[in-house]
């Protein structure tokens, strides 16, 4: 049986392809090698990213900085949001100036430099060099009543840490938005099925990197040293940078083709504010008339193509915007889920005296506590198991039976699992607070910080992590596939950037909600319980997120059904199908 022929994509002016041996198997083998190199780079970059985020709340909450619990959670959410929200910046730079290859290489270099700030602030001399000396707590009169409010102190070293985290977020978002499309470019010649499978394995490599990071880095950070624990992510980024440069000869690289962002903005202004658009044309009429004579002609989309692409964007955006509340729920597993876990009983890996476990749960010098970040492994292991099972068994079987759901149907199912995850978290928090209010607490020392925890085992968090992992399979992976496949080829980078940007919007909305509820009178305002959350009502916060997710999931189902009906019409096939990636 002859091997299937590869589909050769039309060449782009300035595109560089590697010199490959003639025949079918040669190009296919090298295309797979290029795709594998991209997956390896992504795995190492994600290992570094999860190494930074896994214990960020604990790091900021430790005696190194003494941030309050809500301050540390807010910083983690801001960092996670920035790492997605800034994705269009990296995509725009790649489209206009750098190209995807150079954008990824320079982003990894920035990543390497910025991530060095965390180990530099993990030891006293480095902290004093970057942040100055930690201010002493001000002395004042005692609080006359137990209910009087106390203002939380300004977090130590906040400007330096926020600047470093934002630079890491910019680098990570640029790598994410460009490496995804860059990897898909490497296997595009192998057909649409190869592109779909690439996204499955791309997500699998993300979670493999997370496993390596959580098993090793999180354990070292919590039990040995933050200095060593944050040095490992720096090494991972350096190795990823080396592999990316080493694999350059087998990569397909494309030159920057210009960005359609300005065209889309002009069309949006023309449709939404016609009077303002007419004033803009009248003011800039002479410059618009002289501009073509002052520059050399460049390849770009025609006005008709701009209008067609704008219509596609208008159809796709409502689908992606209604995913934002899902991302609000998703990013809780790296912020408030972590904070909740620190206030549950975290057992020792090697208990010094098992018979005395019920009396004192403080970590002994001769034993190590299980890293709270290991709970993320429940989410990651689900993805690592289900992605190959789905790719090799479930999807082919459903395809043969003509029962394979569409990407939008999978995304709706993912929203349901996200909803159930945050409901389970809220119920667990209610039970935890029940123990706290009956003075059934134990003390445990995690990362040199003493927490007053409920005697509930941290393993009760596993269901909410499992559910959020299942939701990833059905919401995030099909979301990537939808953003790449439904976009016109000339807008794939921009729409992938918008997809990741909206993910960041979800994280920042979650951070804003935490900040709002931390104001006096809010559910998360508990300054008298500095460093702990035992006087907060995080359960109500989780239930509020569940309600927001439920309402927008119903809206998503309606919008997705309308989108699929419009896409199946004859007009959509005649206008856009030949331009899809």
With a pLDDT cut of 90, the percent of the chain lying above it is: 13
Model pLDDT, residue 492: 66
Same fold, 27-132+156-258 and 259-273+307-349+369-568: yes
Q: Are strands 344-345 and 449-457 parallel, antiparallel or unpaired?
A: parallel
Confidence band of 404 (pLDDT split at 50, 70, 90):
low
Specify the residue for token string 């403080």: 362
CA distance 316 to 335: 30
Specify the residue for token string 């990570």: 172
Measure Cα distances from 207 to 377, 382, 411 in Å.
Answer: 9, 9, 19
Helix (H) / strand (E) element for 442: namely strand 442-446
Confidence band of 527 (pLDDT split at 50, 70, 90):
low
CB 581 within 8 Å of CB 188: yes
Q: 190 versus 401: which is more confidently predicted?
A: 401
| HSE of 372, CA atoms in CB hemisphere, 13 A | 30
CA distance 336 to 375: 13
Confidence band of 137 (pLDDT split at 50, 70, 90):
low
Answer positive or negative: Cα dihedral of 77, 79, 81, 84: negative
What top-level class would CATH report for the domain 259-273+307-349+369-568?
mainly alpha
CB 182 within 8 Å of CB 471: no
Model pLDDT, residue 292: 40
Confidence band of 531 (pLDDT split at 50, 70, 90):
low
pLDDT in tens, 223-273: 888 888 899 999 999 999 999 999 888 887 777 766 666 666 666 666 666
Confidence band of 279 (pLDDT split at 50, 70, 90):
low
Model pLDDT, residue 159: 86
pLDDT in tens, 285-319: 544 444 444 444 444 556 666 677 777 777 888 88
Model pLDDT, residue 365: 43
Residue 396 reports pLDDT greater than 70: yes
Residue 551 reports pLDDT greater than 90: yes
What is the 3 state secondary structure string of 135-163? CCCCCCCCCCCCCCCCCCCCCCCHHHHHH
All structural domains of the chain with their residue ranges: 27-132+156-258, 259-273+307-349+369-568
Model pLDDT, residue 7: 44
Residue 102 reports pLDDT greater than 80: yes
CA distance 132 to 159: 12
CB 131 within 8 Å of CB 157: yes
CA distance 19 to 123: 49
Q: For the beta carbon of residue 563, count every other beta carbon within 10 angstroms.
A: 18
Structure tokens at 350: 């090697």
CATH code at 27-132+156-258 = 1.20.1250.20
Q: What does 76-135 look like in DSSP terms, one character per residue? A: HHHHHHHHHHTHHHHHHHIIIIIHHHHHHHHHHHHHHHHHTHHHHTSSHHHHHHHH-PPP
CA distance 504 to 580: 26
Q: For the beta carbon of residue 264, count every other beta carbon within 10 angstroms.
A: 17
Answer positive or negative: Cα dihedral of 20, 26, 31, 36: negative
Model pLDDT, residue 273: 64
Strands across the sheet containing 449-457: 344-345, 449-457, 442-446
Q: Which residue pairs from 151-155 have beta carbons closer than 8 angstroms and sit at least 24 positions apart in sequence? A: 151/527, 152/68, 152/70, 152/71, 152/527, 152/530, 155/60, 155/65, 155/67, 155/68, 155/71, 155/75
Specify the residue for token string 């725009």: 92
Model pLDDT, residue 358: 40
CA distance 246 to 239: 10
Specify the residue for token string 């331009």: 579
Residue 373 reports pLDDT greater than 80: no
Q: Which residue pairs from 560-567 have beta carbons closer than 8 angstroms and sit at least 24 positions apart in sequence? A: 560/319, 560/408, 560/409, 560/411, 560/412, 563/315, 563/318, 563/319, 563/408, 564/406, 564/408, 566/315, 567/315
Residue 364 reports pLDDT greater than 60: no
Model pLDDT, residue 560: 86
CB 43 within 8 Å of CB 208: yes
3-state secondary structure of 457: strand
pLDDT in tens, 466-505: 898 888 888 888 887 787 777 766 666 667 778 878 887 8
């Amino acid at each position: 049986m002859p091997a299937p022929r590869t589909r050769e994509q039309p060449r782009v002016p300035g595109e560089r392809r590697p010199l490959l041996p003639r025949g079918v198997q040669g190009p296919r083998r090298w295309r797979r090698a290029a795709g594998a190199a991209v997956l390896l780079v992504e795995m190492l970059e994600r290992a570094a990213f999860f190494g930074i985020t896994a214990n960020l709340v604990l790091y900021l909450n430790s005696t190194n900085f003494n941030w309050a619990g809500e301050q540390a959670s807010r910083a983690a959410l801001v960092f996670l949001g920035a790492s997605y929200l800034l994705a269009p910046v990296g995509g725009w730079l790649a489209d206009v100036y750098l190209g995807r290859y150079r954008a990824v290489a320079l982003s990894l270099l920035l990543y390497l430099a910025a991530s060095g700030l965390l180990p530099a602030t993990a030891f006293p001399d480095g902290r004093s060099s970057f942040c100055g000396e930690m201010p002493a707590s001000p002395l004042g009169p005692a609080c006359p009543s137990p209910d009087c409010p106390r203002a939380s102190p300004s977090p130590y070293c906040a400007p330096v840490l926020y600047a470093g985290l934002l630079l890491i977020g910019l680098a990570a978002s640029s790598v994410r938005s460009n490496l995804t499309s860059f990897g898909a470019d490497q296997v595009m010649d192998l057909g649409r099925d190869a592109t779909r499978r690439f996204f499955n394995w791309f997500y699998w490599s993300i979670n493999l990197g997370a496993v390596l990071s959580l098993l090793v880095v999180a354990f070292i950070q919590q039990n040995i040293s933050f200095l060593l624990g944050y040095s490992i992510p720096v090494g991972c980024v350096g190795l990823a940078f080396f592999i990316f440069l080493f694999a350059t000869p087998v990569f397909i690289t494309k030159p920057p083709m210009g960005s359609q962002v300005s065209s889309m903005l002009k069309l949006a202004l023309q449709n939404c504010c016609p009077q303002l658009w007419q004033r803009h044309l009248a003011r800039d009429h002479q410059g618009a008339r002289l501009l073509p004579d002052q520059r050399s002609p460049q390849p770009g989309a025609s006005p008709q193509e701009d209008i067609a692409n704008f219509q596609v964007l208008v159809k796709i955006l409502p689908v992606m915007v209604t995913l934002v509340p899902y991302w609000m729920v998703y990013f809780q597993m790296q912020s408030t889920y972590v904070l909740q876990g620190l206030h549950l009983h975290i057992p020792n890996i090697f208990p010094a005296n098992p018979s005395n476990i019920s009396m004192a749960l403080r970590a002994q010098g001769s034993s190590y506590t299980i890293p709270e970040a290991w709970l993320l492994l429940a989410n990651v292991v689900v993805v690592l198991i289900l992605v190959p099972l789905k790719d090799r068994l479930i999807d082919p079987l459903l395809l043969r039976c003509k029962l394979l759901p569409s990407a939008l149907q999978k995304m709706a199912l993912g929203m349901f699992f996200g909803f159930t995850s945050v409901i389970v978290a809220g119920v667990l928090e209610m039970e935890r607070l029940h123990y706290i209010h009956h003075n059934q607490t134990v003390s445990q020392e995690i990362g040199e910080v003493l927490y007053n925890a409920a005697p509930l085992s941290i393993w009760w968090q596993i269901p909410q992590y499992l559910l959020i992992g299942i939701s990833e399979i059905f919401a995030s992976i099909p979301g990537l596939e939808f953003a790449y496949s439904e976009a016109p080829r000339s807008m794939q980078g921009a729409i992938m950037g918008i997809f990741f940007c909206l993910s960041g919007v979800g994280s920042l909305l979650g951070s804003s909600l935490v900040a709002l509820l931390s104001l006096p009178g809010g559910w998360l305002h508990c300054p008298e319980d500095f460093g702990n959350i035992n006087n907060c009502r995080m359960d109500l916060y989780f239930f509020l997120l569940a309600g927001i997710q439920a309402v927008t999931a119903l809206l998503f189902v309606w919008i997705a059904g309308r989108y699929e009906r419009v896409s199946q019409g004859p007009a959509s096939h005649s206008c856009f199908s030949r331009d899809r990636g």
